[in-house]
Chain A
């Protein structure tokens, strides 16, 4: 079945460091891919998404490119801030939008 695998955390970075959180997927057909962020004490928020191969989703300085050849959707940010500390979830939706699968989450802590 469809699934998402993301790198395990926790990840700790210094402010202004480069961030990569790896995410790979297994799916039949042409899924849509998402990154959600969960700040402490809050619900999940959609960070960015991509609906077809080679699409790049971007928001708040974060980017991820839908790579069909490597079945990946890695999250990147060039310069993290303390306020980026949160748990990041990679997710996949089947091409009908009827099933949704989350990864296990990666906790990011950014220290000043």
Chain B
């Protein structure tokens, strides 16, 4: 069964360092989402891509976060510089139709900022 792949699964970094997360969606899924899930809370959408274009990044803290999906397939989410409050699970999801109602989630990357 096709799955959304994410790496690394765990990342520990010090504040002010740069970190990057990678996501490979299910083959053929045009829409890709990045979520942040703070411990004890539900996921919050950070950015949505349709192919290589950003559809919605209204909740992405653009002063330190960036996301790209250059060839419309896999995607990278970067944080520079990382802050203590960025410690969270970062989830990637993909959808065949562009509807949030049909999204499939990856296992996530757990980030700890010291």
- A residues sitting closer than 8 Å to B (CB atoms) are 4, 32, 34, 36, 41-46, 49, 51, 89, 91, 93, 97-105
Whether B100 contacts A44 by the Cβ 8 Å rule is no
Max chain A Cβ within 10 angstroms of own Cβ: one of B40, B42, B44, B107: B42
CA distance A37 to B62 in the complex (A): 30
Contact status of A32 and B101, CB under 8 A, knowing A43-B91, A89-B42, A105-B40: yes
Interface size on B, residues (CB 8 A): 19
Binding site for A on B (CB under 8 A): 4, 6, 40-45, 91, 93, 99-101, 103-108
Whether the pair B42, A103 counts as a contact (CB closer than 8 A) is yes
Given A32-B101, A97-B100, also A43-B107 (CB < 8 A): yes
Bound Cα distance A7, B107 (Å):
24
Contact B101 A97 (CB under 8 A): yes
Residues of A within 8 A of B105 (CB): 36, 43-45
Q: Which residues of A contact B42 (CB under 8 A)?
A: 4, 89, 91, 101-105
For B55, give the chain A residue with the smallest CB separation.
Answer: A98
- Knowing A93-B100, A97-B100, A98-B100, say if A42 contacts B107 (CB, 8 Å): yes
Question: By the criterion CB–CB under 8 Å, are A100 and B40 in contact?
Answer: no
Chain B residues lying within 8 Å of A103, measured Cβ to Cβ, are 42
CB <8 Å contact, A102 and B43: yes
Pairs A–B under 8 Å by Cβ, sample size 8: A42-B107, A43-B105, A49-B101, A89-B42, A91-B42, A93-B101, A97-B100, A98-B100
In the assembled complex, the CB of B48 is this many whole angstroms from the nearest CB of chain A, namely: 9
Name the residue on B nearest A44 (C-beta). Answer: B105
Which residues does chain B contribute within 8 Å of A49, judged by CB atoms? 101
